[in-house]
A and B are shown apart, each in its own frame.
Chain A
Amino acid sequence: MRPHSRSFKNNASAALKDASLQLALGGIKNGFVANRAKARANLPEFEDLRDEARAVKEHALAHLDLYLEEYEKKVTASGGHVHWAPTATDAREAILDICRKAGARTVTKGKTMVGEEIAINDHLEGAGITPVETDLGEYLIQLRNEPPSHIIAPAIHLTKDQVEADFRKIHTTLPYDRVLEEPAQLVAEARTVLREQFLAADIGITGANLLIAETGSSVIVTNEGNGDLTQCLPRIHIVITSIEKVVPTLEDACTILRVLARSATGQEWTTYTTFSTGPKREGDPDGPDEYHVILLDNGRTEMLGSEFHDMLRCIRCGACMNHCPVYNAVGGHAYGWVYPGPMGAVLTPSLIGIDEAGHLPNASTFCGRCEAVCPMRIPLPKLMRHWREREYDKGNTPLFYKIGLKLWAFMARHPRLYQGLTGLAMPALARAGRRRGRFKSLPFAGGWTRHRDLPAPQGKTFQQLWRERGQIS
C-alpha cells in the first residue's frame, strides 16, 4: 500500500469522528487488555519469562549471520529453498517467479504482515493471480479493499454489523434471509466460502512468527486453523518472512511462544501452533511438494547495532498498541502504513523513511504503557525519542515550534532572567484570571484552549514567594 503517514493529523481527525470505528475500538479494553492482565496474573514467572525471551532474541540478533546461514542449511537439507531478498522488490520478484513457474492462478494466504509490507497482493493481482486471504480478519478487509488496522487483529476497526452487511452484499449465492446475528454464524459462513478456495489454490503463502535455525522450521500461530490449510493443501508453500525472526533452537522458540500468546490475546497458547519443515517427504500423507522461504531484509540490517537495534526484538504481539492511548483513540489506519501503534511509530520510519513517517514517533504522550507491557522489553518511548532527535538534527522540526523551543530553552538556561520575567508575567496573568481561575482562550494557547480551559496561575511565582519569606538558599 502507498503510505499516507504524512497526513496522520487528518487521518486521526477523521478517525475520531468515525462513530463505528470508535465503537469497535471501545472493545479493546475489555478484550485484549483485560485478557493479557489475566494471563499475566495466572503465570507467576511471567516477568522472568520476559527476561528469558528477551535474552533469546538478543543472542540471536548478536549472531544473526550465523543463525541465518544455519537456518538456510537446514531448510535446504530438508528439501526446501531459501530466497534472500534484500528489498521488497526482490521479495516480490522471488514470489512472482515461483508463481509463474508453477502457472499459478489462485493463491491462498495466511496472515502475513511482511506480505503487507511488500504489498504482495497488489503485485499478484497485477500478474493476473488471484490472492485469497484466509484469515477471517484479513478476508474481511480484503472484501472491503482496506489495509489491516492492527498487526494481529487486522479487522479490529470493524463492528459485527458492518461484517454482516458486507457478507450479505458479497456472498450473493447464499440465501439473503439467512440468520447472521452471532459472531459464530459469521465465522461459519466465511469458513464455508473459504473451504472451496483452499481446495482450488495452486499456491499457499503464509508468514512466520519464528524461524528455527536448529531445525530449519518456520512457525506460525493462528486461532482459526486457516494457516494449516493454506500451507498443506496447495502444491507449493511459500513462507514470506523477515530475517530477524530466526532463533537458535526449538527450546528458544517455545520460550518466545509462551510470552507471545499471553501478550497478544491473553491465551496460554494460540489454538494452532504449526511447525513447517521442508516439503512433503516420502511417505508423508500430506504437505506441499515445494517449500520456499523468502527472507526479507528491507532495511533491517541497517537497524542492527544502530540506536534502533532493540526494535528487532519485536515479536509482533500487538500488546503495545492494545495498551496505547493514542492507538485506542484513533485506530490503526490513522498511522498510514502497515505497522501502527508504538511499534509502528518506531519501525515505520526505519522502513519507509522519517520524512514520510515523521508524525508517528511524535504522536505519543510517552506514557510508557507500551514499554511496560512489551514482552521483549523494547524501550519504545526511548526509540521514538531517537527519531525525534534525528528529525531535530535534520531540521525537520516545524519552524514555529523550534523558535518557541529555542526561546524557552534560552530563558531556562538563564535562571535570573527566567525568574525576573516569569515573576512579572505570572502575577499579571493571575490578576486577569483570578476570579474565574481559568481562561477559555489566550493568545498563543489555542492548541490548549480549543478543547480545554487553561488554569490560571495563583499569583507570584514560588521563587518570588520563597525569597520574600527570607528563605535564602
Chain B
Amino acid sequence: MMAKNKKTQAKPKVGLFVTCLVDLIRPSVGFASVKLLEDAGCEVEVPRAQTCCGQPAYNSGDKSDARALALATIEAFEAYDYIVAPSGSCAGMLKHHYPDIFSSDPALAKRASAFADKVFELVSFLVDIRGMTQVDARFSGTVTYHDSCAGLRELGVKQQPRKLLSSITGLTLCEMEESEVCCGFGGTFCVKYPEVSNAIVEKKSANISASKADCLLAGDMGCLMNMAGKLYREGKTMQVRHVAEVLADMTDEPPIAAGEGTDS
C-alpha cells in the first residue's frame, strides 16, 4: 500500500483533525500525531477552522447544530488527500455519522460520503493505509491497552496499535480482561448518569489493576481522562497516556492527570 501510494503521490497531504480534547487538554498528543504522520511520509496541515466534530450535539438529539458542525468540518478538510484524527470516536463520527446526517440531501450526502472515504483514525491510518510496521521508539515498562468503543467497533482498530507497540524496544504488552468493554465515559453520559458511569469505570479500573501493567494506553482522550480520573481517585499510581505519545517516543510530558508535583 505504501509503495503504491509513493508511486502515485510522493507526499499525501493530511489534514489533522486534532479533536477538541487533544486541542484543549493534551496538545502533546497532537504533536505526537504530527510526528507519526510525517514519519509515515505525509505532509501534515492543521486547518484552523476546526473545533469539534459535533458529536455532543449529535448524540443529544440536536440535529441542527450537529449538521452545522459537520458541514463546517467537511468544508475545512475536504480538499486534503486524507483526514486523520487521534481518536476513534471523532474519526467514527466523521466517517460514519456525517453521511447519515446528510442522508436526506443527495448533494450533501455525496459530498459527505466522498469526505468520509478519506477519514481515518490515526493508528489504523499508519498501519493500514501507510503500511507502517514499526516505530522508532523506546519505552521501558509494561503497558495494557484499552480498546475504545468507537475505534474498535466502528473502525476496526484492534491489531494496529498492538502491532506498532510490539515493535518498541523495552515495552511489554500485558492484556487486561475485557479490554473491549466500555470504560463508562460515553461523552455526556458520564455527567448525565454519573453513578452508572462510575460503576462501569470502577470495573474497568479493577481490570486495569489486575493486568499488572504500570501504564495504561488507549487511542481516545475521552476514555483516557475517565480512566485516569478514576485510577487517581482510587489512589492508584498508574501512568496513563495516549498511545500516540508512546508510538512517537514523546513521553517527556507528565502522564495524564499526573502533574509535575511530587504527589503524583
Partners in one complex: yes
**Known contacts A397-B60, A415-B49, A437-B258: A462-B27 contact under CB 8 Å:** yes
The residues of B that contact A366 with a CB separation of less than 8 Å are: 59, 149, 186-187, 189
With A415-B49, A455-B225 in contact, is A390–B195 under 8 Å at CB? no
A369 to chain B, nearest CB (A): 7
A426 to B26, CA, bound (A): 10
Does B10 make an interface contact (CB < 8 A)? no
Does A438 sit at the interface, judged by CB under 8 A? yes
B259 and A434: CB pair below 8 A? yes
CB of B1 within 8 Å of the partner chain: no
Contact present for A368 and B149 (CB under 8 Å)? yes
**Complex contacts, A363 vs chain B, CB 8 Å:** 189, 192-193, 196
- Distance of A436 Cα from B228 Cα, bound (Å): 13
Q: Is A456 an interface residue (CB 8 A)?
A: yes
Residues of chain A with a CB closer than 8 A to B180's CB: 369
Which of A389, A438, A447 gathers the greatest number of chain B CB atoms within 10 Å?
A438
**Interface 9-mer from A193-201, A254-262, A265-273, A406-414:** A406-414
Q: A365-B200, A458-B25, A463-B23 are in contact. Are A419 and B61 (CB under 8 A)?
A: no
Q: Residues 348-373 of chain A: 1 if any B CB is under 8 Å from the residue's CB, otherwise 0?
A: 00000000000000111111110110
At the interface with chain A, which of B123-131, B134-142, B249-257? B249-257
Question: Within 8 Å of chain A (Cβ to Cβ): is B160?
Answer: no
Contact A389 B61 (CB under 8 A): yes
Knowing A363-B196, A364-B186, A369-B149, say if A413 contacts B232 (CB, 8 Å).
Answer: no
**Cβ of B117 under 8 Å from chain A:** no
Q: Which A431-473 residues have C-beta < 8 A from chain B?
A: 433-438, 447-448, 450-463, 465-467, 471, 473
Q: Are B46 and A437 in contact (CB under 8 A)?
A: no
Chain B min CB distance to A250 (Å): 35
| Shortest distance from the beta carbon of A139 to any chain B beta carbon, whole Å | 30
The smallest C-beta distance from B208 to any residue of chain A, in angstroms, reads 13
> What is the bound-complex CA distance between A401 and B190, given in angstroms?
13
* Interface of chain B residues 1 through 28 with chain A (CB within 8 A): 18, 20, 22-28
A329 in the interface, Cβ–Cβ < 8 Å?
yes
Query: Range of interface residues on chain B?
Result: 35 or more
| A371 CA / B28 CA spacing, docked (Å) | 34
Taken together as a complex, chains A and B put the C-alpha atoms of A433 and B62 apart, in Å, by 33
Instruction: Report the separation of the CA atoms of residues A382 and B93 in the bound assembly, to the nearest whole angstrom.
Output: 12
Contact A438 B229 (CB under 8 A): yes
Q: Which residue of B lies closest to A392 (CB)?
A: B61
Chain A hits for B50, CB < 8 A: 415
Contact in complex: B26, A364 (CB < 8 Å): no
Complex CA–CA separation, A129 to B229 (angstroms):
56
Q: In the assembled complex, which residues on chain A have CB atoms less than 8 Å from the CB atom of B233?
A: 451-453
**Contact residues of B between 27 and 68, Cβ < 8 Å to A:** 27-28, 30-31, 45-52, 54, 56-63, 65, 68
Bound Cα distance from A389 to B100, whole angstroms? 14
Does B46 contact A405, Cβ atoms closer than 8 Å?
A: no
Contact in complex: B259, A457 (CB < 8 Å)? no
Instruction: Count chain B CB atoms within 10 A of each CB in A385, A389, A412 and give the residue with the most.
Output: A412
- The answer to whether A397 and B253 have CB atoms under 8 Å apart is no
Give A415 to B15 CA distance when docked, in angstroms.
16
Decide yes or no whether A245 CB sits under 8 A from chain B.
Answer: no
Q: How far is the CA of A436 from the CA of B254 in the complex (A)?
A: 10
Chain A residues whose C-beta falls within 8 Å of the C-beta of B106 in the assembled complex: none
CB pair A413 B228 closer than 8 Å: no
> How close is B19's CB to chain A, nearest CB, in angstroms?
9
Residues of B225-264 at the interface with A, using a CB-CB cut-off of 8 Å, are 225-226, 228-230, 232-233, 253-254, 256-261, 263-264
Q: Does A422 contact B (CB under 8 A)?
A: yes
Contact check, A438 vs B18: say whether CB atoms are below 8 A apart. Answer: no
| Contact status B48-A452, CB under 8 Å | no
Give the chain A neighbours of B198 by CB distance below 8 A: 450-452
User: Does the CB pair A462–B65 fall under 8 Å?
Assistant: no
Contact of A418 among B28, B51, B229 (CB under 8 A): B51
On whether A12 and B195 interact (CB within 8 A), knowing A462-B18, A466-B30, the answer reads: yes
Chain B contacts of A455 at CB under 8 A? 25, 225, 228-229, 256-257
Interface contact A447-B185, CB-CB below 8 Å: no
Q: A369-B181, A436-B261, A466-B30 are in contact. Are A330 and B196 (CB under 8 A)?
A: yes
Asked if residues B45 and A473 are in contact (CB atoms below 8 Å), the reply is: yes
User: B260 touching A434 by the CB < 8 A rule?
Assistant: yes
Complex alpha-carbon distance, A392 and B66, angstroms: 13
| Inter-subunit contact A413/B182 (CB<8 Å) | no
A454 — nearest CB in chain B belongs to which residue?
A: B229
**Would you call B61 and A367 a contact (CB within 8 A)?**
no
What is the bound-complex CA distance between A29 and B58, given in angstroms?
31
Tell whether A453 pairs with B181 under 8 Å between CB atoms, given A363-B196, A436-B259: no
Q: Which of A405, A422, A452, A461 has the most CB of B within 10 A?
A: A452
B interface footprint on A322-342 (CB within 8 Å = 1, 0 otherwise): 000110011000000000000
Interface flag for A13 (CB, 8 Å):
yes
CA A13 – CA B193 in complex, angstroms?
10
Whether the pair B264, A436 counts as a contact (CB closer than 8 A) is yes
Measured in the bound complex, the distance between the Cα atoms of B264 and A245 in whole Å is 58
| B153 contacts partner chain A, Cβ-Cβ < 8 Å | yes
* B contact residues around A329 at 8 Å (CB): 196, 199-200, 203
Residue of B nearest to A326 (CB): B196
Provide the residues of chain A in CB contact with B187, threshold 8 Å: 365-366
Q: Report the separation of the CA atoms of residues A433 and B197 in the bound assembly, to the nearest whole angstrom.
A: 24
User: Is the CB–CB distance between A422 and B60 below 8 Å?
Assistant: no
Please determine whether B149 and A454 come into contact, CB atoms closer than 8 angstroms.
no
A-chain residues with CB within 8 Å of residue B264 when the two chains form the complex: 436-437
Partner of A458 from the list B18, B27, B153 (CB cut-off 8 Å) is B27
Does the CB pair B153–A16 fall under 8 Å?
no
- B254: chain A residues within 8 A (beta carbon): 437
Closest to B60 in A: A405
Known: A16-B195, A365-B189, A405-B56. A452 touches B229 (CB 8 A): yes
Given contacts A437-B260, A462-B30, whether A454 and B230 have CB atoms under 8 Å apart is no
Q: Contact between B27 and A461 (Cβ–Cβ < 8 Å)? A: yes
20 further A-B contacts with Cβ under 8 Å, apart from A392-B61, A458-B26, are A16-B195, A325-B181, A325-B184, A366-B59, A369-B153, A382-B100, A392-B63, A415-B48, A436-B263, A437-B260, A438-B257, A447-B194, A452-B230, A452-B232, A455-B257, A457-B26, A458-B27, A461-B23, A462-B31, A463-B23
A residues neighboring B (CB under 8 Å): 9, 12-13, 16, 29, 325-326, 329-330, 362-369, 371-372, 382, 385, 387-393, 397, 401, 405-406, 408-409, 411-413, 415, 418-419, 422, 426, 433-438, 447-448, 450-463, 465-467, 471, 473
- Between-chain CB contacts (< 8 Å), 5 pairs: A362-B192, A365-B184, A412-B51, A437-B261, A438-B228
